[in-house]
């Protein structure tokens, strides 16, 4: 892909080795959270798979995009209550993926609504790796 993707992958690789030692991630940046999810999978996170996962429906009424938008760089809207939701992509909303417990809580709730189960670590890694490719001015 492009240069940003490359540097990101490199960064992940560094972080991967860093977290392998510590195991539990109580992380503070999106890249650290991503490294935590990715550390438990065998394959490198795929932004492309993440984008598909995010936009596909999984046998139920909603996809992730139903509330967050197809490209979550803008304010989303809750599919049933209509309440606005801050952009999910970290480059557009500074607090996103900076609190591991908060991210975990919402993955749990939202995956349950969309897939009827929890998301795997690999699925979370794919989604977050895609969200991190979304940058202003693209």
Partner 1 sequence: MVKRQLISIAALAGAPFLQPAWADEDAARGVPLQPKYQQECGACHAAYPPNMLPAVSWRRIMINLNQHFGTDATVDAAAAKEISTWLNANAEVGKRAREAPPEDRITLAPWFKREHDEVPAATWKLPVVKSAANCAACHTKADQGDYSERNIRIPR
Tell me: does residue 130 bind ligand HEC (CB under 6 A).
Answer: no
- Tokens matching residue 117: 């189960």
Q: Taking a C-beta distance cutoff of 8 angstroms, is the pair 30, 47 a contact?
A: no
Are 121 and 37 in contact by the 8 Å Cβ rule? The answer is yes
The beta strand positions in the chain, using DSSP E, are 76-77, 84-85
60 touching partner 1, by CB under 8 A: no
Which residues 83-102 are close enough to bind partner 1 by CB under 8 A? 83
Contact between 50 and 71 under an 8 Å Cβ cutoff? The reply is no
- Part in contact with partner 1 (CB under 8 A); list of ranges 4-12, 29-37, 50-58, 110-118: 110-118
Distance separating alpha carbons of residues 79 and 75, to the nearest angstrom: 13
Regarding 58 and contact with partner 1 (CB under 8 A), the answer is no
Q: Name the residue nearer to partner 1 (CB basis): 26 or 108.
A: 108
Is the separation of the CB atoms in 113 and 60 below 8 Å? yes
User: Which stretches of the chain bind ligand HEC, using CB under 6 A?
Assistant: 62, 64, 66-68, 78-81, 85-86, 88, 96-97, 102-103, 106-107, 109-111, 113-114, 127
User: Which stretches of the chain bind partner 1, using CB under 8 A?
Assistant: 77-78, 80-83, 105, 108-110, 112-113
């Amino acid at each position: 892909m492009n240069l940003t993707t490359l540097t990101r992958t490199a960064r992940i690789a560094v972080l991967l080795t860093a977290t392998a030692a510590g195991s539990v991630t109580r992380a503070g940046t999106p890249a650290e959270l991503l490294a935590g999810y990715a550390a438990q999978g065998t394959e490198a996170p795929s932004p492309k798979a993440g984008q598909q996962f995010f936009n596909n429906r999984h046998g139920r009424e909603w996809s992730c995009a139903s509330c967050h938008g197809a490209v979550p760089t803008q304010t989303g809207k809750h599919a049933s209550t209509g309440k606005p939701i801050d952009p999910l992509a970290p480059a557009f909303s500074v607090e996103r993926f900076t609190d591991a417990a908060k991210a975990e809580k919402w993955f749990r709730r939202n995956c349950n609504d969309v897939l009827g189960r929890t998301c795997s670590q690999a699925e979370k890694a794919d989604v977050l790796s895609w969200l991190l490719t979304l940058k202003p001015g693209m």
